[in-house]
C-alpha cells in the first residue's frame, strides 16, 4: 500500500490497469478501480494539496482484500466502478 501525495503519483496510479485506489474521508472510506470517474484529479488537488489531507487521503493498493482490511472503517465499494 502506498499513499498518493503528489499529482505525479496520482497520474501514475490513475493509469494503472491493476490495483485499487482507496479514498479515505471523515464521512467514510471508499475503494475504486483506478480509472473510475470518481477518482478525479480536481478532488485530489483539493483534498490532498489544498486541504493538506485534513479530511482524508488517497492510497494505491495492489490487492482488493488488502484494501478492504487495511482501513477502519472498512471501505465501501464504489457504486460507479464496482471493484471486484
Ligand atoms: Zn469508483
Domain assignment present for 13:
yes
What is the domain count for the chain? 1
Distance 31 CA to ligand 1 centre (A): 7
DSSP helix/strand/coil, 48: helix
C-alpha cell at 35: 480509472
Q: What local confidence, expressed as pLDDT, does residue 1 receive?
A: 94
Q: Which domain holds residue 37?
A: 2-77
DSSP helix/strand/coil, 10: helix
Domain assignment present for 84:
no
On average, the pLDDT of the chain sits at 96
Domain assignment present for 83:
no
Distance 71 CA to ligand 1 centre (A): 17
Domain assignment present for 16:
yes
C-alpha cell at 66: 488488502
The predicted model gives 26-41 an average pLDDT of 97
CB within 8 A of 59, min separation 6: which ones? Answer: 1, 2, 3, 4, 21, 22, 24, 67, 70
Distance 22 CA to ligand 1 centre (A): 9
The predicted model gives 30-54 an average pLDDT of 97
Beta strands 30-32 and 76-77 are parallel
The predicted model gives 62-68 an average pLDDT of 95
DSSP helix/strand/coil, 11: helix
Q: What local confidence, expressed as pLDDT, does residue 73 receive?
A: 94
Amino acid at each position: 500500500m502506498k499513499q498518493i501525495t503528489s499529482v505525479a503519483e496520482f497520474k501514475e496510479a490513475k493509469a494503472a490497469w491493476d490495483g485499487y485506489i482507496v479514498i479515505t474521508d471523515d464521512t467514510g472510506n471508499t475503494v475504486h478501480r483506478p480509472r473510475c470517474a470518481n477518482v478525479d484529479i480536481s478532488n485530489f488537488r483539493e483534498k490532498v494539496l489544498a486541504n493538506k489531507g485534513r479530511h482524508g487521503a488517497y492510497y494505491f493498493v495492489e490487492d482488493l482484500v488488502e484494501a478492504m482490511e487495511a482501513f477502519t472503517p472498512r471501505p465501501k465499494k464504489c457504486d460507479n466502478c464496482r471493484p471486484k
